[in-house]
């Protein structure tokens, strides 16, 4: 098990349910205003922390993989020149023709929200702001899902793991997906 918690967040579960009724490819944009971490911080050390793409952006690669529901067949990276290499756009292409971009930026303002997901599909849009507000545009029967507190799915992720161990069920995240996402994050680092 890897703690790819965002796929367990209640609003992400709602997005997944709404997308279940959509045929055809999707376009997803994940913007992460990660903030700067000094170059000498342990997370920036590739041998110790793996760098921020491997250590943090992997969560967003997994989130898009989960929502699309099929393998990533191509990936690329465009990054700004910097000692840390932690301001980059990661492009993903999926087996069903869907596309996804993870904008992982370390050069933004702390006053701006940290995470935003936008999903474009079948003439409709879903927008998730900071794991608190999910808004639907053009979705029949769905307009908004607000939470009192931010929920990135950590508790549900841990609970799914404990339940799988206790009951002997399947892994909460299929091993093939964990390996796929990890390999791609390493390639993009």
pLDDT in tens, 119-161: 999 999 999 999 999 999 999 999 999 999 999 999 999 999 9
Both tokens of residue 138? 């053009």
Q: Which helix (H) or strand (E) holds 29?
A: strand 27-33
pLDDT of 49 reads: 74
Residue 58 CA to residue 37 CA, distance in Å, equals 17
The answer to whether 60 and 102 have CB atoms below 8 angstroms apart is: yes
pTM over 0.85: yes
Residues 6+ apart with CB under 8 A from 20: none
Helical ranges in 47-152 per DSSP H: 51-52, 58-68
* Burial class (CB within 10 angstroms; exposed 0-12, middle 13-18, buried 19+) of 65: buried
Tokens 């390493």, located at residue: 186
The total number of residues shown for the chain amounts to: 189
- Structural domains in the chain, CATH included, are 5-188 (3.30.360.10)
| pLDDT exceeds cutoff 90 at 52 | no
| pLDDT exceeds cutoff 80 at 48 | no
Average pLDDT of span 94-103: 98
| pLDDT exceeds cutoff 80 at 177 | yes
Residues 6+ apart with CB under 8 A from 51: 43, 44, 45, 84, 85, 86, 189
**Nearest C-alpha neighbor of 85 from the set 115, 57, 48:** 57
Instruction: Quote helix, strand, coil % in the chain, to nearest 5.
Output: 35, 25, 40
Both tokens of residue 174? 């299929």
């Amino acid at each position: 098990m890897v703690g790819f918690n965002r796929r367990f967040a209640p609003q992400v579960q709602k997005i997944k349910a709404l997308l279940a009724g959509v045929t055809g490819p999707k376009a997803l944009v994940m913007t992460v205003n990660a903030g700067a971490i000094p170059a000498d911080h342990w997370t920036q050390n590739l041998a110790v922390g793996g760098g921020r793409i491997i250590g943090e952006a992997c969560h967003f690669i997994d989130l898009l993989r989960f929502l699309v529901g099929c393998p990533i067949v191509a990936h690329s990276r465009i990054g700004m020149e910097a000692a840390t290499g932690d301001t980059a756009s990661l492009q993903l292409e999926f087996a069903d023709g869907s596309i996804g971009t993870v904008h992982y930026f370390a050069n933004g303002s702390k006053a701006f929200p940290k995470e935003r997901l936008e999903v474009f599909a079948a003439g409709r849009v879903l927008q998730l702001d900071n794991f608190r507000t999910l808004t639907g545009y053009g979705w029949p029967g769905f307009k908004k899902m607000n939470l009192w507190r931010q929920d990135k799915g950590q508790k549900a992720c841990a609970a799914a793991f404990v339940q799988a161990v206790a009951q002997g069920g399947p892994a909460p995240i299929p091993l093939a997906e964990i390996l796929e996402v990890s390999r791609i994050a390493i390639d993009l680092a």
